[in-house]
Structure 1
Amino acid sequence: MTDGTPATPARMRIDKWLWAARFYRTRSLAAQAIAAGHVKLDGHTVKAGRDLHMGACLEIAIGDLVWTVVVRGFNVQRRPASEAQLLYQETPESSARRAANQEARRLAPVPGSELRGRPTKRDRRQIRGFNENC
């Protein structure tokens, strides 16, 4: 007899694993990232249907961040983030690289990154005054 819990598979499609491990919101976004070459399995680009096995090393580029993780488990369903973090282990080099990247972004933010939405009335007056004085 079974207790109703799904059995943990020995292999899983790479796009489904990325979705279950919460690197991407949907499987289609994961498949698009794989097709674009943002995900590498053991240093090689792969297709979304490729089977993933335990101990495989994945390199995942999301924006400016690059994760290097080792697959530790599989989940058939998408579970909470605390459980999803148990599916992989990030390498120490990867976590140090990401921390250095985040610190560099904090110390030297991209110009204009603090601007949000349309200019206010005050901002428009300053822009107009700057343009008229030139």
Structure 2
Amino acid sequence: MGEGPAKIRLDKWLWHARFFKTRSLSAKLVSGGHCRVNGSPVAKPAFMVGPGDILTFPKERDVRVIRIVAPGERRGPAPEAQALYEDLDPPKPREREPQAPRYEGGGRPTKKDRRALDKSRPSALE
């Protein structure tokens, strides 16, 4: 059969490539209109994609830009899933989020800080 490149549903491909834990989560993202294929917005999870298509979609706090290399036949292990796409704009490493302020006049003291504070105060029993 002289078919062109194999095509697969967008929601299914996102699930196969392990961008989402469940297929319904990937379908929800596409249905919400948050996904673009080759620059055009897509709102149907059944939109067919194939090798060479470029996907743009939000994932956590990043916007992912992916080129589809293969359609995928199953949701396999991570190395198999990573072979399905080429990351055109890899996410930048995030800086660590600032922690709550330590007890240096700000924030709430930890138990260790409270013990040190109690030791530094004169005892009321003396």
Asked whether the two chains share a fold, i.e. TM above 0.5, the reply is yes
Over the aligned positions, Cα root-mean-square deviation in angstroms equals 2.4
2:122 corresponds in structure 1 to: none
Stretches of structure 1 that go unaligned for 5 or more consecutive residues are 1-8, 113-118, 126-134
1:85 corresponds in structure 2 to: 82
| Separation of aligned partners in 1, 2:18 and 2:51 | 17
**Per-residue CA shift, 1:71-104, capped at 9, x if unaligned?**
000222101000100000011xx12xx22xx34x
Q: 2:26 aligns to what SS in structure 1? A: helix
Of the structure 1 ranges 9-18 and 34-43, higher mean CA displacement relative to structure 2 is found in 34-43
Aligned residue identity for 2:58: A
Q: 1:31 aligns to what SS in structure 2? A: helix
**Per-residue CA shift, 1:18-52, capped at 9, x if unaligned?**
00000001110000011122321112221100000
Considering only CA atoms, is the larger Rg found in Structure 1 or Structure 2?
2
1:38, 1:62 within 8 Å by CA — same for their partners in 2? no
1:20, 1:84 within 8 Å by CA — same for their partners in 2? yes
Which of 39, 46, 53 matches 1:43? 39
1:57 corresponds in structure 2 to: 54
TM-score, length-scaled by structure 1: 0.66
Q: 1:30 aligns to what SS in structure 2? A: helix
Stretches of structure 2 that go unaligned for 5 or more consecutive residues are 101-107, 115-126
Q: Which runs of 4+ in 1 moved over 4 A?
A: none
Q: 1:110 to 1:66 in 2, by over 3 A?
A: farther
1:73 corresponds in structure 2 to: 70
Aligned residue identity for 1:31: A
